[in-house]
Amino acid sequence: MYYFCTLHYISYMFNQLKIWKRQGKQYITDVTTTDVPGVFRGRPEILGEPKDDAALRGLCPTGAIGFSPLSIDMGKCMFCGECAFAAPDLIRFSKNYKMGSNDRQKLIINSSVRPEDDLINPDAIRAEIRRLFGRSLKLRQVSAGGDGSSELELNATGNVNFDIGRFGIDFVASPRHADGIVLTGPISRNMAGPFKLAYEAVAAPRLLILAGTDAISGGLLADSQDVDRSVLDGLHVDLYVPGNPPHPLTFVNAVLGLLGRKNR
């Protein structure tokens, strides 16, 4: 019996090694420096000031474009790319996925923001956040009228490619087991109450992360009578993660930046 078990174990290990050899490493070894393949609109770059801004006035469906100076508010931007098509000499979308910030103002990109600038403001991070959650962070996701896209991308952060679990960051089933809430969606009226309930079920000091344009500003639905964002009044937002939906690399890098993790 002993020999049978040993042989079975060796055969199992051999098969596992064969699979590993065939598939190689599936995870992204460094989520901070990897390139995003294919088409991806990341952090916008403002290349100059318009002499005539007529082509851009009234173009943006969410009013994300500001003037004097020219700017794009990533918290409102749907990343449709229309402004870059209309004024390619003034606006360009880079592949930089590091767009998350703990400072709402830093989501507004103008020509003075350099592509390599870190948008995380360490001085604005609550003192206890890095001490308590720097090595282990459990998050509960709440979709408040979301369309499923941001939720899918958050789900992808745990897959074999991005593997957010390797940093000690996990999504959990109950707010009672969580250190913070990740909110997606514009906050529909019927989800405002459940979101508040989930938020209050997390023990203090709790994190609040707004993931995606809809959660940050309401997006296209900001002015809808069926959206109630007043529930956010008075709540401290620890992290804004832009994108429509946010790329998993945007989310992973934003959270690692908030936690001050070097291996990000």
First-residue to last-residue Cα distance in the chain: 47
Residues paired with 30 in a beta bridge: none
Closer residue to ligand SF4 (CB): 72 or 209: 72
Interatomic CA distance for residues 21 and 8, integer angstroms: 20
Which amino acid makes up residue 60? C
Closer residue to ligand SF4 (CB): 92 or 196: 92
For helices 248-259 and 149-156, the axis angle rounded to 10 degrees is: 60
Residue 76 Cβ vs ligand SF4, minimum distance, rounded to whole Å: 7
Closer residue to ligand SF4 (CB): 149 or 161: 149
Q: What is the dihedral of CA 234, 261, 105, 223, to 10 degrees?
A: -60
Closer residue to ligand SF4 (CB): 108 or 201: 108
- Up-side HSE of residue 241: CA atoms within 13 Å toward CB? 29
Tokens in use for 1?
A: 């019996």
Return the closest-CA partner of residue 122 out of 239, 247, 251. 239
Residue 113 Cβ vs ligand SF4, minimum distance, rounded to whole Å: 15
Could you tell me whether strands 91-93 and 65-66 are parallel, antiparallel, or unpaired per DSSP bridges? unpaired
Residue 62 Cβ vs ligand SF4, minimum distance, rounded to whole Å: 5
Interatomic CA distance for residues 221 and 228, integer angstroms: 10
Residue 236 Cβ vs ligand SF4, minimum distance, rounded to whole Å: 27
Tokens in use for 37?
A: 């393949």
Closer residue to ligand SF4 (CB): 180 or 242: 242
Residue 66 Cβ vs ligand SF4, minimum distance, rounded to whole Å: 9
Interatomic CA distance for residues 43 and 252, integer angstroms: 15
Whether residue 156 contacts residue 195, with contact meaning beta carbons closer than 8 Å, is answered with no
Residue 60 Cβ vs ligand SF4, minimum distance, rounded to whole Å: 3
Closer residue to ligand SF4 (CB): 72 or 178: 72
Residue 218 Cβ vs ligand SF4, minimum distance, rounded to whole Å: 13
Cα 223 to the center of its chain, rounded Å: 23
Identify the DSSP state of 200.
Answer: H
Closer residue to ligand SF4 (CB): 62 or 102: 62
Which residues of the shown chain bind ligand SF4 in the complex (CB under 6 A)?
59-62, 64-65, 72, 77-83
